[in-house]
Structure 1
Amino acid sequence: MIRNISISAFINTIFILALIAISLTFAIFIKLDKQRYNITMQKKYELVAESILKSLSNKPTKNGLKFIIDQFKMIQIQDNKRKLNIINKGKTLILRDTAEGIYRIFSTDDILYIYVQRDGYNLMIKDTQTYTYNLIIISLAIAISLGVLFSLYYILKRKLKPLRNLNNEIKKFSEGDCNVRIKYHSKDEIGTIAKTFDEALTQINNQRKSKDLFMRNMMHELKTPITKAMFIAETLEDKKKRDMLQKAFHRMDDIIKELAMVEKLTSSNTFLYKELTSFFKIYNRTIEIALLSPDKISTKIQDFNLNADTAMLSVALKNLIDNAIKFSPNAHAILNANKHRIDIISQGEPLKENLEYYTEPFSQEEKRSDGFGLGLYIVKTIANLHGYKLIYKHNKGKNIFSILID
């Protein structure tokens, strides 16, 4: 599971867990420190209460009583109503019944009160001093810890920013943008990777341009002599030789056209000229370029409209129909079409490999020596450019190639 998490998400998760751990640690520490503080204050107030009880044995006067209380830096609460409110609503922390008298320690709103009773004295006493339980120190420690944590997080995210940029540029390249350039400024591992990838991109683009130039020159140089040879073949009197040569030259011409289509489809400037058209129009164009006789194909078409590049989709259908007729024992194909799918059906043995094998450029089985291995590659590429999907299945002695429209 961890392998599938991105580095950025992993770092975010680690820092969130660290933040939670620090917060819980300080929360527990504050709670324990407050408990320690309360225990310390309670012990102090117990000593004060016992001392005052002993002092009351001498039955001090009002001024003497004030002097005793002032010694402990405390004040007596004179308001009886307030005293009753503290007794009734306050939380009793300690109740002691000693030989000198009774004392209780109350807590109300985090303030401690001492209540002593002896020989008619009922004194409610409150501390005048303000105590803290290291809250300022703890708050400062929390602030420093969080500051260090967020600083580390910021530094690490900034350090990984070039890696995110590199990932975005690689995605663009994988989507067909060959004009990607990787910028690198650091000399660390990420900078080295970016530099190496940028050099690789430059080399790939140079090779692609060389390939495109070679393909164009080769097709241009071959097209003229093949056309001339086809005209010369027409003048031969021997029909058998004439037909054989014309078949060979037509096949070479088809190969050049397929190479031209591959070059067009793999070009970074590939663009679909989509238009709203009917399937019948695309089918009629397919029959025109395939030069098929009506007895070679049966159709069952429910006409529908679609947004498509008529020229390209016609080429894809032509290749599927050509393959169906060429490799079928009865040299016949069936075309079924509706708004959801287009099926090309023909009799024959099932493919020995899965469909992906045949949609790679130049792949073919040994028995298919007449093919050049580009037909299904072109079909799949055109289908993908339209957002369609090419699938295959063999059912009851029939090969079925389907283009799924939705």
Structure 2
Amino acid sequence: MKYTLRVRITLIFVVGFFLVSLLFYAFERLQNEQYTDKIRTNQLNAINWLVSLYNKASLPENWDEYFKNFDLAYVRDIELRNNLLSEAKSISSNETPLGIAEMIEYEGEPFLKLKNQGVVILLRSTQQSPKNTLLLAYALSVALIGGFCISFYGSLSPLRRLRADIKRFANGELDAMCNISVPKGEDEIEQVAYEFNKATCKIKDLLISRQLFLRTIMHELKTPIGKGRIMAEMLSETNQKERLISVFERLNMLINEFGKIEQLISKSYTLNLSDYRFSLVLEQVRDLLMLDDFSKHVFIKGEADPLLKVDFQLFSLAIKNLLDNAIKYSAEHKAILEIYDDMLCIKNPGKELEYPIEHYMQAFVRGKGQKTSGMGLGLYIIDSICAMHKYSLKYKYIDGFHCFYVIFHEHK
């Protein structure tokens, strides 16, 4: 069973409180025994010395002063005397020439009872009990433990804020975090929270500058592409005109793709989910691939047309990239698309991969010795888009074919 830091600290303080209480209880028992033993020793000495004086016919003139020497005094309270005579417990009793000397106990306190014919003398100790001092020490110890406990809980407060900030950071809420002033403080946790907030603001500035840089480049590229498209429209030769227009449309489409990829990598893309038949997605994929003859390069198997809840543009981009990779890395520049109700399978013939597929799904990773150009983001982007849709991207190498499966179900 896992416990939170707060629960662990609480358990530590509870155990500490229990051990301190146990220690004080044992110490109180020991002190009480020592206190009782000392009183009984004084009582015994008072009787023995009194008997000795009696034998010498030299009884004391001032009995109060005599008993005071042994830290004893008469019990003058009538109610207490009555309770002692009726309820006190006898500890020991001795017959002396002066009468019966009996040590008694009432409510845990020792008393001395002297009885001679009809006269009863009750004596109690005048020594101060150490119990009050011990209780004060115990109260101070408990207060100290409680103070430390409250102090520790106070130290956890910045840690809770830090946890909330990390969660917001993971969700990309950098603006909200940087708008909150975090005090530096002197506590180590507060300093960590302060430095984390400071680092978050720097990351936010870097992201803003990167986005501004990329968007500026894309904006500046669109201007010459637009001008080139206008000039292409002015050509009289039909073949050259169509070819140039196709090139400029392809460039414009690539810039739009770069924009989506930039948002995907920066985790700032918001899905726009709706229900679409896969046949409609496939039509969009045809347009994105811009192949002269789509059916010459892509062979479609299966008559299924599943209804999918997807972001149309983004999911079309993922399928386009899968088909583009399959065509690009096939010796014959051909791929097979198999359509099922619960998944898609895109195949292409080729040599077995040098590394596990997880290696190629990392960002900016490409196979060694590949002549095709690119940044190595293809599979990373496809896997990211599938994960955003809660679909699974699986890979198998079967009978000389690379098989990529897009399975339409949520991760379990």
TM normalised by structure 1 equals 0.67
Q: Which residue identity lines up with residue 270 of structure 1 in the other structure?
A: Y
CA contact (8 A) 2:84 2:106 kept: no
**In structure 1, how many angstroms separate the alpha carbons of the residues matched to 2:153 and 2:268?**
37
Partner residue in 2 for 1:221:
223
Out of 33, 36, 47, the residue aligned to residue 34 of structure 2 is 36
Q: Which runs of 5+ in 2 are unaligned?
A: 56-65
Distance 1:82 1:15, change over 3 A: closer
Q: Which residue identity lines up with residue 161 of structure 2 in the other structure?
A: N
**In structure 2, how many angstroms separate the alpha carbons of the residues matched to 1:127 and 1:237?**
129
Query: Cα offset for 1:246?
Result: 8.5
CA contact (8 A) 1:255 1:372 kept: no
Partner residue in 2 for 1:398:
401
Query: Cα offset for 1:368?
Result: 4.9
Q: Which runs of 5+ in 1 are unaligned?
A: 58-67
CA contact (8 A) 1:299 1:336 kept: yes
Distance 1:216 1:115, change over 3 A: same
State the Cα deviation string for residues 28-67 of structure 1 (Å, max 9, x = none): 333332332333344345556768999999xxxxxxxxxx
Out of 380, 383, 392, the residue aligned to residue 380 of structure 1 is 383
CA contact (8 A) 2:113 2:122 kept: no
CA contact (8 A) 2:93 2:103 kept: no
Query: Cα offset for 1:384?
Result: 2.9
Identity of aligned residues (%): 20
Partner residue in 2 for 1:62:
none
Out of 335, 343, 346, the residue aligned to residue 344 of structure 1 is 346
Out of 202, 205, 221, the residue aligned to residue 200 of structure 1 is 202
Q: Is 1:147 aligned with 2:143?
A: yes
Out of 333, 336, 357, the residue aligned to residue 333 of structure 1 is 336
Q: What secondary structure does 2:38 align onto?
A: helix
**In structure 1, how many angstroms separate the alpha carbons of the residues matched to 2:95 and 2:360?**
100
Partner residue in 1 for 2:171:
175
Query: Cα offset for 1:148?
Result: 3.6
Query: Cα offset for 1:369?
Result: 0.9
Q: What secondary structure does 2:366 align onto?
A: coil
Q: Is 1:110 aligned with 2:113?
A: no
Partner residue in 2 for 1:310:
312
5 Å-filtered alignment, 1:227-242, equals 227=229, 235=237
- C-alpha root-mean-square deviation of aligned residues, in Å? 5.2
CA contact (8 A) 1:392 1:401 kept: yes
State the Cα deviation string for residues 371-400 of structure 1 (Å, max 9, x = none): 453432332232232234434343443323
**In structure 1, how many angstroms separate the alpha carbons of the residues matched to 2:200 and 2:49?**
84
CA contact (8 A) 2:225 2:251 kept: no
Partner residue in 1 for 2:59:
none
CA contact (8 A) 1:383 1:389 kept: yes
Query: Cα offset for 1:177?
Result: 1.9
Query: Cα offset for 1:213?
Result: 2.9
Partner residue in 2 for 1:271:
270
Q: Which residue identity lines up with residue 178 of structure 1 in the other structure?
A: L
TM normalised by structure 2 equals 0.67
CA contact (8 A) 1:112 1:126 kept: no
Q: Which residue identity lines up with residue 41 of structure 2 in the other structure?
A: K
**In structure 1, how many angstroms separate the alpha carbons of the residues matched to 2:340 and 2:4?**
44
Q: What secondary structure does 2:174 align onto?
A: coil
State the Cα deviation string for residues 182-241 of structure 1 (Å, max 9, x = none): 523346571862574255245324423422432431442353256458768994769xxx
CA contact (8 A) 1:233 1:246 kept: no
Query: Cα offset for 1:152?
Result: 4.5
**In structure 1, how many angstroms separate the alpha carbons of the residues matched to 2:74 and 2:223?**
111
Partner residue in 1 for 2:182:
184
Q: What secondary structure does 1:272 align onto?
A: coil
Query: Cα offset for 1:273?
Result: 1.5
Aligned pairs, number: 381
Distance 1:43 1:262, change over 3 A: same
Q: What secondary structure does 1:293 align onto?
A: helix
**In structure 2, how many angstroms separate the alpha carbons of the residues matched to 1:46 and 1:308?**
98
CA contact (8 A) 1:393 1:401 kept: yes
**In structure 1, how many angstroms separate the alpha carbons of the residues matched to 2:150 and 2:263?**
47
Partner residue in 1 for 2:60:
none
Distance 1:334 1:72, change over 3 A: same
Q: Which residue identity lines up with residue 376 of structure 1 in the other structure?
A: L
